[in-house]
């Protein structure tokens, strides 16, 4: 779910040489292309519109070409929300899912202080965002994850190291 620590992990792993792609960046780029203000509400509506118009895997399609052009053996894709997006990614290469879980309170506190334009400012906005994410299938993606890290009182280093160990283990398979 948003705010559990996925982007924090990905940002740190990127500094260690991993290449990352973010589905949300695909939506933000589409908003920019259409000259839509990148507020949480607008990006949420755009995500739903793109999916409705082009199918449930459409957001993953927005980042397909850059992933295919990557020269890295392992890439990290942040922000997968649905089985259909996973299916799009599986057409590109091998896919392993790592879910990061955290309490609602931890996630809200983080998101409300992060400062990104689409972050919820109120509990109501937070709950609306969670419901939207669940509505596009995020819960099912979490259920089928190959591994899960529970972010409960972990330091950033502990969180990142846990993820790095899991990903490096998968890369050796």
Q: Quick one: pLDDT band at residue 164, thresholds 50, 70, 90?
A: very high
- Please give the Cα distance from 17 to 44 (Å, whole number): 31
Task: Specify the length of the chain in residues.
Answer: 173
d(CA 44, CA 7) in angstroms, rounded, equals: 18
pLDDT tens profile 83-137: 999 999 999 999 999 999 999 999 998 888 887 777 888 899 898 888 888 777 7
Supply the pLDDT for residue 92: 93
- Residues 18-76 have pLDDT tens digits of 999 999 889 999 999 999 999 888 998 998 899 999 999 999 999 999 999 999 989 99
> How far is residue 163's CA from residue 158's CA, in Å, rounded to a whole number?
9
Q: Are 78 and 10 in contact (CB under 8 A)?
A: yes
Closest CA to 22 of 68, 59, 48: 59
- Global pTM exceeds 0.95: no
At 131 the pLDDT is 85
Complete domains list, the chain, with CATH: 6-172 (3.40.50.300)
Cα separation, 41 vs 26, whole angstroms: 16
CA distance linking residue 69 with residue 19, whole number of Å: 12
Name the one residue in this structure whose structure tokens are 């190959």.
146
Compute CA distances 67 → 27, 44, 89, 139, whole Å: 15, 23, 9, 24
Q: What is the mean pLDDT of residues 149-163?
A: 94
Rg of the chain, C-alpha, whole Å:
15
- The label of the residue with tokens 């949420």 reads 44
């Amino acid at each position: 779910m948003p705010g559990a620590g996925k982007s924090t992990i990905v940002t740190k792993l990127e500094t260690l040489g991993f290449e990352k792609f973010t589905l949300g960046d695909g939506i933000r780029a589409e908003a920019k292309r259409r000259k839509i203000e990148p507020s949480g509400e607008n990006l949420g509506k755009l995500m739903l519109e793109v999916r409705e118009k082009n199918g449930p895997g459409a957001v993953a399609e927005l980042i397909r070409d850059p992933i295919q052009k990557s020269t890295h053996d392992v890439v990290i894709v942040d922000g997968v929300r649905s089985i259909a997006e996973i299916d799009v990614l599986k057409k590109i290469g091998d896919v392993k899912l790592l879910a990061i879980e955290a309490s609602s309170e931890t996630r809200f506190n983080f998101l409300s202080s992060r400062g990104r334009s689409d972050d919820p400012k109120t509990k109501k906005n937070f709950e609306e965002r969670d419901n939207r994410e669940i509505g596009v299938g995020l819960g099912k993606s979490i259920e089928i994850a190959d591994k899960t890290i529970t972010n409960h009182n972990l330091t950033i280093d502990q969180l990142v190291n846990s993820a790095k160990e899991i990903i490096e283990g998968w890369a050796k398979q």
